[in-house]
Amino acid sequence: MQACQAADTGVPAESYTFAVHWTAAQVCSGSSGCIGGDYTTETVHEQIAFMNKLFAHAGVAFTWDGVIHNATAGSYDEVDEDGWICALPRYGDGMTFHVITSPRHLFGGGVLGYTNYLSSFSKQYGGFPQCLNRVHIFEKTLPGLGGRSVVDGGLSDSGAVLAHEVGHQLMLHHTWFEATWERQEAAAQCHGSASMDPTDIAAFRSDGVRDTTAQSLNYTGQIIRFVGCHPATGLYTNSSINAQQSCTSAVGFPAGDAYYNNYNNLMSYGDKTCLRTITAGQAARARCAVKCMVLGQC
Ligand SMILES: [Zn+2]
Query: When comparing pLDDT for 210 and 252, which is higher?
Result: 210
* 229 and 262 fall within a common domain: yes
Q: Note whether 108 and 205 are same-domain residues.
A: no
pTM recorded for the entire structure: 0.87
What is the C-alpha to C-alpha distance for residues 168 and 45, in angstroms, rounded to an integer?
21
17, pLDDT greater than 50: yes
Using a 10 angstrom Cβ sphere, with 0-12 exposed, 13-18 middle and 19 or more buried, the burial of residue 211 is: exposed
Choose among 211, 242, 212: nearest CA to 226: 242
Mean pLDDT of 101-124: 88
**Given a cut of 50, is residue 249 above it in pLDDT?**
no
Domain check: are 99 and 219 in the same one? no
pLDDT higher at 238 or 297: 297
The predicted pLDDT at position 255 comes to 35
177-181's contacts with Cβ under 8 Å and 24+ in sequence apart are 177/205, 177/206, 177/214, 177/215, 177/216, 177/217, 178/203, 178/204, 178/205, 179/216, 179/217, 179/219, 179/221, 180/221, 180/222, 180/223, 181/221
The boundaries of the domain holding residue 104 are 2-172+278-294
The answer to whether residues 7 and 141 belong to one domain is: yes
| pLDDT on residue 257 | 38
Does 167 share its domain with 59? yes
290 and 254 belong to one structural domain? no
Cα 267 to averaged position of ligand 1 atoms, centre (Å): 6
When pLDDT is averaged across residues 80-103 and rounded to a whole number, the result is: 90
Q: Cα–Cα distance between 280 and 146 in angstroms, integer? A: 30
Q: Cα separation of 269 and 217, whole Å?
A: 11
Cα 40 to ligand 1 centroid, rounded to whole Å: 26
Q: Say if residue 107 is in the same domain as residue 142.
A: yes
Mean pLDDT score, 282-294: 90
Residues 151 and 200 in one domain: no
Predicted pLDDT of residue 284: 92
CA distance 118 to 91: 17
29/47: higher pLDDT: 47
Residue 13 has a pLDDT of 63
Q: What share of the chain in percent tops pLDDT 70?
A: 72
> Between 268 and 262, where is the model more confident?
268
Is residue 216 very low, low, confident or very high in pLDDT (cuts 50, 70, 90)? low
Distances (CA, A) of 78 to 22, 130, 232: 18, 19, 40
Confidence of residue 98 (pLDDT cuts 50, 70, 90): very high
Q: Is the pLDDT of residue 170 over 80?
A: yes
Q: What is the pLDDT of residue 181?
A: 52
Distance from residue 174's CA to the centre of ligand 1 (Å): 6
For the four alpha carbons of 195, 198, 203 and 209, in that order, the dihedral sign comes to positive
- Count other Cβ atoms within 10 Å, centred on residue 25: 27
pLDDT given at position 3: 79
**Same structural domain, 238 and 272:** yes
Q: What are phi and psi of 140, to 5 degrees?
A: -75, 0
Ligand 1 geometric centre to CA of 35 (Å): 26
What is the CA(33)–ligand 1 centre distance, in A? 33
Ligand 1 center from residue 156 Cα (angstroms): 13
69 CA to middle of ligand 1, Å?
26
Residue 206 Cα, ligand 1 centroid: separation in angstroms?
14
Distance from residue 31's CA to the centre of ligand 1 (Å): 36
- Over residues 174-179, the mean pLDDT reads 73
260 Cα: distance to centroid of ligand 1 (angstroms): 19
What phi and psi, each to the nearest 5 degrees, are found at residue 25?
-80, 135
Give the pLDDT band (50/70/90) at residue 258: very low
- Whether residues 178 and 168 share a domain: the answer is no
CATH number, domain of 131, equals 3.40.390
CA of 144 to the centre of ligand 1 (A): 21
Q: Rounded to the nearest whole angstrom, what is the distance from the C-alpha of residue 185 to the centroid of ligand 1?
A: 22
Q: Is the pLDDT of residue 153 over 50?
A: yes
Q: How many domains does the chain have?
A: 2
Residue 147 shares a structural domain with residue 260: no
Q: Tell me: do 163 and 268 sit in the same domain.
A: no
Helices (H), the chain: 2-7, 41-55, 76-79, 82-86, 160-169, 186-194, 198-202, 280-289
pLDDT tens-digit map of 58-78: 999 999 999 999 999 999 999
